[in-house]
């Protein structure tokens, strides 16, 4: 099936008991057994739930993967990935990543003896310096949050396979519509399902997709044993959201291109970070491994004034100042004080995350209205 057909049909089927075309919300905690251990495949809803099963199958299909595993949040999914490892193990991570991931790595797992290296991944071979017998995994975001850096996944997969490491990719910014890391050699794909997969800012969820049966078994064990599982109504909402993912992403990409071009030519804007520009450092890699360039954009203001950034964000009428991204409505955020506040200022600024940087999640509204909103807000400084 092509992507749009998979989004609507893969992993789901009419309910056999009623013929309902939509997967029912199985709002139950437990399941009656015919005899001890003799059941219909479901015992307890932390372990399995039919609504969740359908969603996991759908997300796996979208990523061209074999096993989908859903969690109560994106961080819950990442937490289970790191729990695959032991004290003393080491993980190499990109140095430009979501602040919540950085906080989980440094404030939680470093306490238990897992060591993290945060490095540039512009050239995978440069990571060799950090590889030793304790290294177990490379953690990648691409596009990165919020600097929109692009990491060459095929090259990174070749590197990790050469050194016997797992490659995990946070694919949240791209969504399965734009990029499929498993096809490029990754071992684990992570999504904050809250974002583009859900698409309507009404659910919090995470997911992992893998092909390897043994790896899937270990992650499913952690999903059940640690209990960070989503409820059936949230799973239903994401199943509904996925049915329009391809349609929404087309508009996100169209609007993203329009807004990025507008900002690049604005006299008060210093720099625009968007991989669709030909002068983006890894534009050709993005063009090769992504189907389009998405609706996530970051930009800085001339003068790098925090006060100016605040004035702009306080003046928006359509771009809502809020955490998160990937919904149908346009959002703006200030990474330095919001999503990435947990990263020390000196570390943020090393990768270009300065005080005036504003991150946009361009929604599916009319692009002219969004440009007018930007023009009005930028006129205030």
Would you list the domain boundaries of the chain?
3-240, 245-379
- Are 203 and 238 a contacting pair, CB within 8 Å? yes
- Same fold flag, 3-240 and 245-379: no
Confidence class for position 43, pLDDT limits 50, 70, 90:
very high
Confidence class for position 343, pLDDT limits 50, 70, 90:
confident
pTM for the whole thing? 0.96
Is residue 105 over pLDDT 90? yes
Instruction: Name every residue whose Cβ is closer than 8 Å to that of residue 172 and which is 6 or more positions away in sequence.
Output: 74, 98, 141, 145, 190, 191, 192, 195, 196, 326
Confidence class for position 342, pLDDT limits 50, 70, 90:
confident
Instruction: For residue 141, give the 3-state DSSP assignment.
Output: strand
The yes-or-no answer on residue 52 being catalytic is: no
Is residue 265 over pLDDT 90? yes
What pLDDT, in 10s, does the model give residues 166-224? 999 999 999 999 999 999 999 999 999 999 999 999 999 999 999 999 999 999 999 99
CATH code of the domain made up of 245-379 = 3.90.1150.10
Catalytic residue among 6, 52, 96, 98: 98
Task: Decide which of 3.20.20.70, 3.40.640.10, 3.30.365.10, 3.20.20.140 is the CATH code for 3-240.
Answer: 3.40.640.10
The yes-or-no answer on residue 170 being catalytic is: yes
The yes-or-no answer on residue 96 being catalytic is: no
Q: How long is the chain?
A: 381
Is residue 344 over pLDDT 90? no
Catalytic residue among 195, 257, 348, 359: 195
Catalytic residue among 15, 42, 46, 311: 46
Average pLDDT in the 97-109 region?
Answer: 96
The yes-or-no answer on residue 187 being catalytic is: no
Q: What share of residues in the chain are helix, strand, coil (percent, to 5)?
A: 40, 15, 45
What pLDDT, in 10s, does the model give residues 362-372? 999 999 999 99
What pLDDT, in 10s, does the model give residues 131-178? 999 999 999 999 999 999 999 999 999 999 999 999 999 999 999 999
Is residue 13 over pLDDT 90? yes
Catalytic residue among 170, 234, 292, 308: 170
What's the confidence (pLDDT) of residue 345? 87
């Amino acid at each position: 099936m092509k992507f749009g057909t998979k989004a609507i049909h893969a992993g789901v089927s009419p309910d056999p008991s009623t013929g309902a075309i939509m997967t029912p919300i199985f709002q139950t905690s437990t399941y009656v057994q015919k005899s001890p251990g003799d059941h219909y495949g479901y015992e307890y809803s932390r372990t399995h739930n039919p609504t969740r099963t359908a969603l996991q199958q759908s997300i796996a299909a979208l990523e061209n993967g074999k096993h989908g595993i859903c969690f109560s949040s994106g961080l819950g999914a990442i937490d289970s990935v790191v729990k695959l490892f032991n004290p003393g193990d080491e993980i190499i991570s990109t140095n430009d990543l979501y602040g919540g991931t950085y906080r989980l790595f440094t404030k939680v797992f470093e306490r238990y003896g897992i060591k993290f290296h945060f490095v540039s991944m512009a050239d995978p071979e440069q990571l060799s310096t950090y590889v030793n017998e304790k290294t177990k995994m490379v953690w990648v975001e691409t596009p990165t949050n919020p600097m929109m850096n692009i990491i060459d996944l095929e090259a990174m997969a070749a590197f990790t396979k050469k050194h016997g490491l797992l490659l995990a990719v946070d694919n949240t910014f791209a969504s399965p519509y734009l990029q499929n890391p498993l096809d490029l050699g990754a071992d684990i794909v992570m999504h904050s399902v809250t974002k583009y997969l859900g698409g309507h800012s009404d659910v919090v969820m995470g997911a992992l997709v893998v092909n390897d049966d043994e790896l899937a078994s270990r992650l499913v064990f952690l999903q059940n044993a640690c209990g960070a599982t989503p409820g059936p109504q949230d799973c239903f909402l994401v199943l509904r959201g996925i049915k329009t993912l391809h349609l929404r992403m087309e508009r996100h990409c169209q609007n993203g291109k329009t807004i990025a071009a507008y900002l690049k030519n604005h006299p008060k804007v210093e720099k625009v970070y968007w991989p669709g520009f030909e002068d983006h450092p890894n534009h050709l890699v993005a063009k090769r491994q992504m189907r389009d360039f998405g609706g996530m954009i970051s930009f800085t203001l001339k003068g790098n004034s925090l006060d100016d950034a605040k004035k702009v964000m306080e003046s928006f009428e359509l771009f809502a100042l809020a955490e998160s991204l990937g919904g149908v409505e346009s959002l703006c955020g200030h990474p330095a004080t919001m999503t990435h506040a947990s990263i020390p200022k000196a570390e943020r600024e090393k990768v270009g995350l300065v005080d005036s940087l504003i991150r946009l999640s361009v929604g599916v509204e009319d692009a002219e209205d969004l440009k007018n909103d930007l023009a009005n807000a930028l006129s205030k400084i």
